Amino acid sequence: MITVYVIIASILFLLLSMLLEWVDRKVYAHVQHRVGPFVTGYHGILQPLADFLKLMNKEEVIVEGSDEFLLHAMPILSLSLVLFALLFIPITSIEGILSLRGDLIIILAVSVIIHVLYIVTGLSQPSFFASVGAARWGQLLVSFEVPLLLSVASAALVANSITLSDIVSFQISNFPIGFFAPLSLLATLFSSLAKLEKTPFSIPDAETEIAGGWLVEISGRRLAIFRIVTDAKYLLLSSLVVTLFLGGPSGPVLPGLEPIMYTLWFLIKLIIVAMILSYIRGIVARYRIDQAIRLFWFRITPLAALNLVVLIVLSTIGVI
Amino acid sequence: MTWEEIAQIIISIFIILSALAVAETKKVVRMALAFCVMSILIAAMFLILSAPYAATFQLAIYAGFIPIIILVAIALMRGGEGIED
Amino acid sequence: MSSLVDVLVSLIVVCIISTITYFTGKSIKRVNKNPFASGETIPPQRIQYLLPWLFSLIVFVAIDATLLLIAVSAPSVLLTALACLALVLLSFLLMPWGET
């Protein structure tokens, strides 16, 4: 029974992540006074699927001296890990398809392991640009994980649990946690931009600086799978922001129609968060690596730490 | 032999195999990846032995952060291959 | 709460789905030499990094290994949790950051 649920859910998550990529490309284009994808499907909604099918049909070129076993294994492992993490998100009810005690930490750990796999991909190609891209991934990763952990810790502190179903049921009966922790919400949005390599922090995959970074020699079906993993990670991080800070699927419901109304509220909040992230992407230019490290360590980490300390003090007094 | 005992034996065999891979492989990048796989299997063992909090923190620290530190050390020491014809 | 069997079965099913997706692509393969081959020999070059970044790596390890435990245990053993949090944030302030 669980097998059937997982297969249907994986196909639906991949289609939803392609829809989010379409939303991202349309918002990015309209910010720049362009039109964006227009020809394939209704206003270009089938464009991400067309890109995926085109890349699957191209030949793959490998540089002599690269590690072929690792280059075969990395796309498969990244896609399976991101689909596994997406199964824990509560969409149609308080619990997701899977639910364990402590699954918030499982989602965070799985997303960090995916970045480990990116660094391994960069190091298994013999090109100098791939090594530079992998080293920059390492430097950026150390910087943006700390504010993300501080914000997630403040959300777990307010709801007094590290299980996603408890956090969602806390927000259904009280206020969304974003009212108690606005600075943590801001820090999570910045860290999500860096995790997805979106424009102020698109440092490891910069085309004009390091000729493509860790993706410089990857083509064909591997590039298709890595692009799908980026879209699925976009879906995962937006759903994490919605679940932790904006209330998840909560909202006014008609009694008896609850799964459909919960899904509708979740999709509305998800698309609003995705549009905010891609709107920021369209306005700003790219940072240098030392500017990005300085920004995360000296401006964003103190904000998230301040919010955590204030919440600890308030929970001792007894207000929360 | 209940289901749990069979699962414990199978996971123990895979833990020993991946630990041997960490110690004996000749390429440094594969060593970091084998360490990550071994830590994930130890976390699965903790889950079978009914310790969910130990499993989640093992996954977060040993399978996430320590391979990053190893790989960053490798990347900063190696500096890419030389470009020659 | 779902049982352990469900979690392991779903992990295996997801691995099978991604393997099938990967192998439906074409696998015509061409092996190239390094595209920047020009005839000269360039020795291996080291990557630049800034020394204060290594201190940030140490602080990262300290924060990430302890922070979720502090946050989960804070409501019950408050004074200990506040002391540990203060020590961790103090290590962040006392690092010799230098110019960066």
Cβ-count burial of A266 within 10 angstroms (0-12 exposed, 13-18 middle, 19+ buried)? buried
Domains of chain B: total: 1
Q: Is A256 left (phi over 0), alpha (psi -120 to 50) or beta?
A: left
Residue A209 pLDDT > 60, yes or no? yes
Q: Where are the domains of chain C?
A: 49-100
State the pLDDT at residue A164: 92
* Interchain CB distance below 8 Å, B83 and C47: no
Terminal-residue alpha carbon distance, chain A? 41
What are the chain C neighbours of A69 within 8 Å (beta carbons)? none
**Alpha-carbon distance values, A59 to A62, A122, A175, A220, C57 (Å):** 10, 20, 53, 5, 40
Residue B68 C-alpha, separation from nearest chain A C-alpha, in angstroms: 6
> What are residue C83's phi and psi, to 5 degrees?
-65, -45
C57 in contact with chain A, both atoms CB, cutoff 8 A: yes
Q: What is the mean pLDDT of residues B15-31?
A: 91
Q: What is the mean pLDDT of residues A196-219?
A: 82
Residue C79 C-alpha, separation from nearest chain A C-alpha, in angstroms: 10
CB-CB: which of C42, C61, C69 is closest to B83? C42
State the pLDDT at residue A229: 95
C38 in contact with chain A, both atoms CB, cutoff 8 A: no
Report residue A187's pLDDT band, with 50, 70 and 90 as the boundaries.
Answer: very high
Q: What does the alpha-carbon distance between residue A175 and residue A230 come to, in Å, rounded to a whole number?
A: 32
CB-CB: which of B48, B57, B80 is closest to C45? B80
State the pLDDT at residue A67: 82
Q: In this structure, what token pair is assigned to residue B9?
A: 């034996």
* Interchain CB distance below 8 Å, B72 and A139: yes
> What are residue A60's phi and psi, to 5 degrees?
-110, 140
* Interchain CB distance below 8 Å, A128 and B81: yes
Residue A310 C-alpha, separation from nearest chain C C-alpha, in angstroms: 11
State the pLDDT at residue C34: 66
The neighbour count for residue A8, using CB atoms within 10 Å, is 11
What are the chain A neighbours of C93 within 8 Å (beta carbons)? none
Residue C40 C-alpha, separation from nearest chain A C-alpha, in angstroms: 15
Tell me, yes or no, whether B83 lies in a domain: no
Residue B14 pLDDT > 80, yes or no? yes
State the pLDDT at residue B82: 45
Residue C98 pLDDT > 70, yes or no? no
User: What percent of chain A has pLDDT above 70?
Assistant: 99
- Which chains have 3+ CB pairs within 8 A of B? A, C
CB-CB: which of A6, A61, A312 is closest to C30? A61
* Nearest in space to C90 (alpha carbons), one of A142, A305, A307, A151: A305
* Nearest in space to B77 (alpha carbons), one of B21, B37, B38, B29: B29
pLDDT digits over A129-159, tens only?
888 888 888 888 888 998 998 899 889 888 8
pLDDT digits over A75-128, tens only?
999 999 999 999 999 998 888 899 888 888 889 989 999 999 998 998 888 777
The better pLDDT of the pair A29, A134 is held by A29
Residue C30's SS3 state is: strand
Query: Structure pTM?
Result: 0.91
- A222-236, B36-50, C78-92 — which is least confidently predicted? C78-92
State the pLDDT at residue B83: 42
Residue B84 pLDDT > 60, yes or no? no
What are the chain B neighbours of C34 within 8 Å (beta carbons)? 83
Chain centroid offset of residue B41 CA: 7
State the pLDDT at residue B23: 94
The neighbour count for residue A247, using CB atoms within 10 Å, is 23
Q: In this structure, what token pair is assigned to residue A86?
A: 């997406």
Output b/e per residue, A210-222; b: 16+ Cβ within 10 A.
bbbbbbbbbbbbb
pLDDT digits over A211-246, tens only?
778 888 888 899 999 999 999 999 999 999 999 999
List, as one string, the DSSP characters of C67-81. Answer: HHHHHHHTTTSHHHH
* Nearest in space to B55 (alpha carbons), one of A240, A80, A86, A162: A162
